[in-house]
Each structure stands twice: as structure tokens, then as C-alpha cells.
Amino acid sequence: MWGWRPRTARPSARCPAGRCGVAEPYYADEHVTLYHGDCRDILAEVGSVDIVVTDPPYSTGRSESEFAATGNIAVALHMASELAPVMAVFGTSSGRGIEFVRSSVRKLPHNRTLAWHRAYVNSPAAGPWRWDLVLIHVFGRGSFGRPESSSLIQTDGTKSLALETGHRSPVPVRVMGWIYEPFAPGVLLDPFAGSGSALIAARNAGARAIGIEIEERYCEIIARRLSQGTLDFDPIGDEAA
Ligand SMILES: C[S@@+](CC[C@H](N)C(=O)[O-])C[C@H]1O[C@@H](n2cnc3c(N)ncnc32)[C@H](O)[C@@H]1O
């Protein structure tokens, strides 16, 4: 069962009412524990995990407040990097996006960059190339074992997945599984859980996962997907993301 239950009082500047669910999970089953709140508050209470897989909510950086928000993401990425030996962070393919992720995760060495090609993505941004390539920067030391998969994955757009889940920027579970499965059954952490696709990928591999999501409506989506035993909503024939 899930549902909002007020956390034990611990108000903070980001959570003045002390209702951000640190002490008490929003949802828990034998595989997944989900917290509702700001990951910068909750990460301090999460112990060590085996891998962080996360897709932060990047802004365009066009205004001061958006830069401030991006600074908050950097803080969260740094905190998460202290909890795991391996971290996979989604980012844009812009030079600034690449620099941002690399400078936020300073504790772990940059090991590999993987690429997710989302076909048919339309982008209003200027430039001759579409924003249809998502880079996933993998941090951590040493070899990650025998190479079994390509470092490139391709899917259709994510518009139908967004309609299915109710989240505006979901990642297909198949993409999360491609990143996570070499590390199964390690415990996965996603501090920007969104619609919960990384958590579902770990659950599908029989592993445990911890998620954090600041928007309660997205926590509901995650809880619903997990309760339904949904394996994936991979879109077919999508036209735009
Ligand atoms: C790009 S989405 C993640 C999508 C996810 N990978 C999926 O497959 O659905 C980023 C998520 O981070 C959440 N978020 C933003 N700031 C947060 C914070 N400080 N703590 C926790 N979650 C946050 C947003 O509400 C959003 O759902």
C-alpha cells in the first residue's frame, strides 16, 4: 500500500512543513523503497548503494533562477556520488551539458559515455542537428566486466510513454535496464526518480532499488506502476518526444 503519511517532523528550508517523507517511505515493497521529497534532504539519510542511475531535470539555463536550479542538481549529484562506486548520469549532448555532469561528479572518475538515440525527436532549439542524442556518463573505477552490449541504444520517441505514464520525460525501462543490468543484483539508487523507470528496471532484474522524487503526483505514478507489476511501456511508432 502507498499513500501520503506525514514524516516525523524535521522541517528544513526546503521542506518548511517537515512533510517531505524522509523518515517514512512513500511506497515500499520487497524490491523498491520510494521517498517523497527533495533528494538533497533525503540523500543524507540513504546509506551506501551499489550503483546510482539517474536522469536529472535539466533546465535550459536561460535565466538566473534556472541556473540556481542547475546548481541544486550539481549538489544532489555530488551527494549521490558519495554513496556508490558506480554512477550513470543522463545528460544532454551539448558541450555545456557534458561539462556540467563531469564537474558535478568529481568524486568518481569518468569511465565511459554511452549514447541513447531517440528517433523522431523534434526540437525547437536552434542548430542544424536535432537533440535526439542523450549521453549517459558512467563514472567509477576499473573494468565493468565482459563487454556484452553496445554502448549505443536506440528507441522511438517517448511521447506515447509520457502519455502512458503521465510523466513528461520518462525514460523507457528498456534503456534503464541496458544501463543497470551489468550491475545486477546490486542495489540501485535514483534520486530523480520521475516515473520510476530505473526502479522498475532493478525490480525486473530481481534487485533492490531506492528512489527519491520531489513531486507527489510522480510518486503516485511510480507507486501505481510498481503495484501494477508493469514491465515497460516501450513506445512503438512515436513521432516526437
Ligand atoms: C527527468 S525527470 C526523471 C525521469 C525518469 N528518469 C523517468 O524515467 O521517468 C527528473 C525528475 O526529478 C524530479 N526532481 C526535481 N528536483 C528534485 C529534487 N530536488 N529531489 C527529487 N526529485 C527531484 C522531477 O520532479 C522529475 O520527476
Burial per residue of 165-188, b for 16 or more beta-carbon CB atoms within 10 angstroms, e otherwise: bebeebbbbbbbbbbbbbbbebbb
Neighbours of 36 (CB within 10 A): 29
What the block records as the C-alpha cell of 228 is 501494477
What was the pLDDT predicted at 13?
56
Q: Which atom of ligand 1 is nearest to the CA of 212?
A: 21
Percentage of the chain beyond pLDDT 70 is: 79
pLDDT tens digits for 124-140? Answer: 666 788 888 999 999 99
**Ligand 1 lined by 73 (C-beta under 6 Å):** no
| Ligand 1, pocket-test mutation among 192, 226, 230, most atoms within 8 A of CB | 192
Q: Which atom of ligand 1 is nearest to the CA of 69?
A: 16
pTM score, whole prediction: 0.87
Look at ligand 1, atom 12, and give the residue with the nearest C-alpha.
Answer: 192
What band does 8 get if pLDDT is binned at 50, 70 and 90? Answer: very low
> What is the set of domains in the chain, with CATH numbers?
26-223 (3.40.50.150)
Q: Which of 17-31, 86-100, 134-148, 172-186 has the highest mean pLDDT?
A: 172-186
What was the pLDDT predicted at 235?
44
Tell which residue, 229, 35, 238, has the closest CA to residue 118.
238
What was the pLDDT predicted at 20?
52
